[in-house]
Amino acid sequence: MRPVNSLGAWTLFTREVRRFLKVKMQTIVTPALTAMLYLVIFRYAMGARQVPGMGVDYFSFLVPGLAMMAMLQNAFANTSSSMIMGKVMGMHIYLLMAPLSAIEVVLAFLAAAVVRALVVVVVFLAVLSPFVDLHLLHPEVILLYGLCGSIIMGGLGLIGGIWARDFDHVAMVTNFVILPLTFLSGVFYSVKQLPPLWQQINHANPFFYLIDGFRYGFLDVGDTDPYASMTVVVATALTTTLVCWQLWRTGWRMKE
């Protein structure tokens, strides 16, 4: 049994973190600007309108969902962009040859995706905190759903990057899978406002549970029981990690 290469895994992790920190306009400034745009558009367009059946104003309902959506999209973007850039530039072969096990590589990539997601959500909430009344009512729920959501999306980004052959393939996954699932997951509305058929369709969307559970941690209200969904969320995060490990271990579409 080969020893754990903790130094190598840490080096890969720090490389990935430094990579996204070098483009601060995309990872830090852009989320802050986006938060201000949401403030202008939704706060002053919706006014003090409340979400039916929840007893919270619309903007307070909206912000946690937007924050979680930003985390999910940035976690996906971090791993998918790193993988496809490495493949296009022919650099991924060096990772395959490095003295790192598959699980060490996967954990380094996923940890960097989690860090990027956390940076984005902290900036996002810091910009909006003076304008919205949010409290960490259930910090353990916020942490669990935030970490699991980032791991799941980081894993999906890694899978998408391994599958893709060029930037168009990654863009296709982002535009036709990730964006629709996140925008239609209850970020902008309560699922209880929809007709029964559309409620069932939304409940089939895995991103819905991530956003609803994250929102519950701030508002103590939601469309589902977040504690009942935790098992599914944790199991999905573990399954995604295992799939990434298996794909990297076999070198699927990496050795072509």
Q: What is the pLDDT of residues 194-221, one digit of tens each?
A: 888 888 888 888 899 999 999 999 999 8
How many residues are present in the chain? 256
- In order of 104, 133, 237, 244, 249, the CA distances from 233 in angstroms are 22, 27, 6, 17, 24
For residue 84, give its domain range: 6-250
Spatial distance between the Cα atoms of 108 and 68, rounded to a whole number of angstroms: 22
pLDDT band with cut points at 50, 70 and 90 for residue 256: low
Q: How many CB atoms lie within 10 A of CB 104?
A: 21
- Using the Cα atoms of residue 96, residue 236, residue 14 and residue 81 in order, give the sign of their dihedral: positive
Is 98 a domain residue? yes
Is 39 a domain residue? yes
Total domains, the chain = 1
248: tokens are 């990297």
157-184: average pLDDT? 90
pLDDT band with cut points at 50, 70 and 90 for residue 38: confident
Spatial distance between the Cα atoms of 85 and 97, rounded to a whole number of angstroms: 17
pTM equals 0.92
Is 93 a domain residue? yes
Structural Rg of the chain based on CA atoms: 19
Higher per-residue pLDDT: 188 or 154: 154
Q: Is 203 helix (H, G, I), strand (E, B) or coil?
A: helix
The mean pLDDT value of the chain amounts to: 89
pLDDT band with cut points at 50, 70 and 90 for residue 2: low
Is 256 a domain residue? no
Tokens 């072509």 identify what position? 256
The pLDDT tens digits for 180-199 are 888 888 888 888 888 888 88
Spatial distance between the Cα atoms of 238 and 134, rounded to a whole number of angstroms: 30
Angle separating helix axes 6-21 and 58-88, nearest 10 degrees? 110
Q: In this prediction, what percent of the chain has a pLDDT beyond 90?
A: 50
- In order of 82, 160, 165, 220, the CA distances from 247 in angstroms are 16, 11, 15, 39
Is 255 a domain residue? no
